[in-house]
Chains A and B, each alone.
Chain A
Amino acid sequence: MTKELRDKARALGLDRLTDKHLAQFERAVTSMERHLQRLPRGMPAAREPAHVYRAKGDVR
């Protein structure tokens, strides 16, 4: 297991991960990268998130 990966996990507070867990962490991050590559980067600046904070509470 690379020191870089262990350091990355430690920085995230995941310092109890074993080598086996770190291998899983690496696969999970790689898999997520594929999804992240599809994220559109050119959305209009004013495009709001799908759920929006409301000061008076939840809209039902």
Chain B
Amino acid sequence: MSGELAYLGLAEAGELIRAMKLSPVEYATALLARIERHDGKYNAFIALTPERAMSAARAAESEIAAGRWRGPFHGMPYALKDIIDVEGLQTTAHSKILIGNIARRHAVVTERLEAAGGVLLGKLATHEFAIGGPSFDLPWPPARNPWNRDHFCGGSSSGSGAGLAAGFFPAALGTDTGGSIRNPASMCGITGMKPTYGRVSRRGVAPLAFSLDHIGPMTRTVRDNALMLQVVAGHDPGDPGSADEPVPEYGAMLDQGVRGLRIGVIRHFYTSDVAGDPEQVTALDAAVNLLAEAGAETSEIVLPALQDFSACGQIILAAEAYAVHEQWLKERPQDYGARARERLLAGAALRAVDYVQAVRWRRELRDQVAAAFANIDLAITASSMDPACRIDDDATLAANYWRQARMPFNVTGQPGLVIPAGFSRGGLPLSLQLVGHPFGEALLYRAAQFYEDATGWTKRHPPELSD
């Protein structure tokens, strides 16, 4: 298959499919062949579903030929992190614990993607239960970074990030409790949106920490991301955290540029709270300058220290995750991988009062951030402090959990969009994060589209996969 077809974007492919210049059957066939040829090196998939995919692709092709085009996702190949239920398929969470766990119904997000005419290619690798990884002691190997397979591809939505960078599919869903969409987006040079808490239904997705869990789209480009969020966003009365807020047209402002936007720069996160890698800091400074030169009003804003968000978020995460895993940890501790077991045990000895104090602190932090955002439209900051480390570098991998600026926006519930921001001298992706007001995703897409068009970073693909 030509590289052009492998890296075709959702928006472009959707237009070609609508015009019947691209057959959904041929598209799915080509991507499945590419996965078959290359995924042995990257382990993005836990399970492929080729028969299901071909059946959906044939149905899409017939419907479109009959004049019943459903929208830009019709006939579109996609894949799901394997903590998201698909009726009749196993949801493993990449864990021995859940082998044989067949989903009885679709998750709400799966229902929405299927109703839009999506073509599911398979279930993707994740860190075990979206918390422990990368791990070599699980039933499936960890996903690897297509920019350099000796390096970490981020996580926990690891297969989603790796598969997009490898050109295996144009769209995937990830989940994000402390950064798990935005971390692989940073490491793999793709685009990942953690939407506002409650924007996308969590029903049918294995929980990690109820009050911090988010589901969001992962794509290669900003425009594709907006299209996918349009499909999955919306109120779900069956999800107690779901927000009954109107869903705007996410692509409506994509071509409006950044002139006049007030953009706060949260620089202390990556310069003084944590010292970011110099190449990453330089990339962020260059991005701020680019936005300012294009007419955005940039100014530094100050939030509470990154370590405060991290502490608050980790206490809440540990307590809520232990509530989910307590019984399994008591009865089957040996069936977890070492990384997940250690991280989940952090909640075992927490006192009730510590959890409640953290949840009270969360409200204070949210209020302080809201005050800092009062006079800006959006903010820019780091996602990861470093490019991807080696997958076998245990010390640096451990630091990956705190050398990041993602947890603040799980704590506040604001949307965070990560996009590529260049490459390190070693050829690994760098990234930036845009942060919005609650339900302000459309404005993030607008600023990100400007930056993407101005820099062209998303046009580069891993050299190992140029065929």
Binding site for B on A (CB under 8 A): 8-9, 12-18, 21, 24-25, 27-29, 31-32, 34-36, 38-41, 43, 47-51, 58, 60
Contact = CB atoms under 8 A, between A and B. Distances in A.
9 contacts: A12-B348, A14-B329, A21-B345, A24-B338, A27-B342, A29-B345, A39-B354, A48-B360, A60-B237
**Interface footprint category on B:** 35 or more
A58 B338 CA distance: 37
A42 B437 CA distance: 28
Contacts of B314: 32, 35
A47 B350 contact: no
Contacts of A51: 211, 359
Nearest to B241: A58
Interface string B317-358: 010000000100111111000100111011111100010111
Contacts of A18: 333-334
Contacts of A41: 357
B438 to A, nearest CB: 13
7 nearest A-B residue pairs (beta carbon): A35-B311, A38-B311, A49-B359, A28-B346, A24-B342, A50-B362, A60-B244
A16 B330 contact: yes
Nearest to A13: B330
A15 B330 CA distance: 7
Contacts, number: 100
Contacts of B342: 24-25, 27-28
Contact of B308 (A17, A24, A38): A38
Dominant SS at the B interface?
A: helix
Interface string B245-283: 000000000000000000000000000000000000000
A45 B268 CA distance: 31
Given A8-B349, A13-B330, A43-B360, A38 B242 contact: no
A31 B347 CA distance: 11
A43 B237 contact: no
Nearest to A51: B211
Contacts of B463: none
B103 to A, nearest CB: 24
Contacts of B307: 38
A29 B333 contact: no
Contacts of A12: 348-349
Nearest to B401: A31
B322 to A, nearest CB: 10
Given A16-B331, A50-B366, A60-B244, A39 B338 contact: no
A25 B342 CA distance: 6
B269 to A, nearest CB: 16
Q: Select the residue from B311, B312, B318, B332 with max chain A CB neighbours within 10 A.
A: B311
Contacts of A48: 360, 363
A25 B338 CA distance: 11
A47 B348 contact: no
B361 A14 contact: no
Nearest to A60: B244
B358 A39 contact: yes
A32 B326 CA distance: 17
B240 interface: yes
Contacts of A58: 240
B102 to A, nearest CB: 27
Contacts of A60: 235, 237, 242-244
B156 interface: no
B240 A43 contact: no
